[in-house]
Every structure is written in C-alpha cells, then in structure tokens.
C-alpha cells in the first residue's frame, strides 16, 4: 500500500496558527508572550495580583514566595509543621519536603497555566512543581508550591521563586472546581483526608 504524501498547510491568524489538512481544521495550543500577558491582565482575562511590569518575561511572569510554608512530615508519622518565614529567611533542608505558596493571586477563566521554577533557582538545587505544574482554567488563588532542595538553601518571603506561563485551550473549557481551588495558603495533599475544604492551621 502506498500512502499519499501528507500535506499540512499552516495559515497564520492574528492570535493563533490554524493547520488545515483536508477538511479538518484545528487551532494549536499556544503559549502567550509577555506583551500578550500584559494585555490580558489589562482586559481582565488574566488575574495577577499584585502585578509588576518588571516581572514580565518573554513568555512568562515571575511570581514570588509568600511568608507561609509547611514542612511536610514523613508519611504522617508526625504532624506537618506550619511555619512563617521571617525577613531573615529560612533554610530548606535536603532531607525535608516543603509546601510554600505564591505571594500573588494567579488565575484565568480563559487560559490554562503552567507554574514552574526559575533556571537560576534550579541551578542552586531547589526544584519547584516537579510533579504538578498545571494550573487549570478557572482557578484563581494563591498557589501551593512543591519545594524540594538538593542542597541547603535559604529562601526569603517575597523573593522571586518561579514563573507562570499562560496557554490557550483547544476544545470546550470545563473550569476546575476541585478542593485545591478553595485555598490560598500552602495546602497539603487530601488523598487520605477525605478532601477537607480548609486547613485549620492557618
């Protein structure tokens, strides 16, 4: 059997690229540029509060660490320790796992998000959101950050800790309404907790 050559025509539009093959058409998922993020914040399609122009990157926005952090216990052997980071900072230990949160409220009813670390922070041995970087469309709050350090490293409240990018959806959008969307403080896993809607420690 001889297959006919595959021809894909790429047509540029104002906001996206449309690929045409036969009668099927679709719009590729796209990451927003920094200038587009600024425009969408001004239009109210993206929430970044507080917003600072100097935090805009070519394809992302730099977010900051809040002053709240949880030192997670070893599989429930001990209660998680809820801490407030002072202006002197706190040293993250390699044998511990931490949950922090963004200083900013981040969200969008139009776009999905990806919250990741920064290259300069990762090169110091601190990794963020290694397993869960997706921010669903419709969520808007301060985001819990998964923090794992390979080396002792001191972090401070308000420091630039990561970056968020915004992505166009392809298909019908069903806004996220799960339990994690209700919390703006560092929030632990609910797998064994029956999904509580609030953390009484904060």
**β-bridge partners, 9:** 20
How far is residue 74's CA from residue 141's CA, in Å, rounded to a whole number? 27
146 is catalytic: yes
Which among 121, 116, 157 is positioned nearest to 135, based on CA atoms?
A: 116
How far is residue 116's CA from residue 63's CA, in Å, rounded to a whole number? 10
**β-bridge partners, 10:** 19
* Cβ atoms 83, 70 nearer than 8 A: yes
Which residue is catalytic, options 81, 146, 193, 195? 146
Catalytic residues: 146
């Amino acid at each position: 059997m001889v297959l006919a050559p595959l021809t894909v025509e790429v047509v540029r539009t104002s906001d996206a690229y449309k690929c045409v093959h036969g009668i099927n058409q679709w719009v590729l998922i796209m990451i927003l540029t920094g200038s587009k993020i600024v425009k969408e914040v001004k239009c109210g399609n993206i929430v970044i509060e507080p917003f600072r122009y100097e935090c805009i990157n070519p394809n992302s926005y730099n977010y900051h660490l809040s002053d709240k952090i949880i030192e997670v216990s070893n599989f429930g052997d001990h209660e998680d320790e809820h801490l407030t980071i002072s202006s002197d900072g706190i040293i993250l230990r390699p044998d511990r796992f931490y949950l922090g949160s963004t200083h900013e409220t981040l969200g969008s009813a139009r776009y999905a998000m990806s919250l990741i670390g920064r290259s300069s922070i990762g090169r110091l041995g601190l990794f963020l959101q290694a397993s869960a970087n997706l921010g669903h469309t419709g969520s808007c709050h301060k985001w819990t950050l998964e923090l794992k350090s390979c080396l002792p490293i001191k972090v401070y409240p308000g420091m630039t800790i990561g970056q968020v990018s915004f992505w166009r959806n392809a298909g019908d959008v069903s806004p996220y309404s799960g339990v994690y969307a209700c919390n703006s403080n560092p929030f632990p896993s609910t797998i064994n907790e029956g999904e509580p809607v609030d953390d009484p420690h904060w």
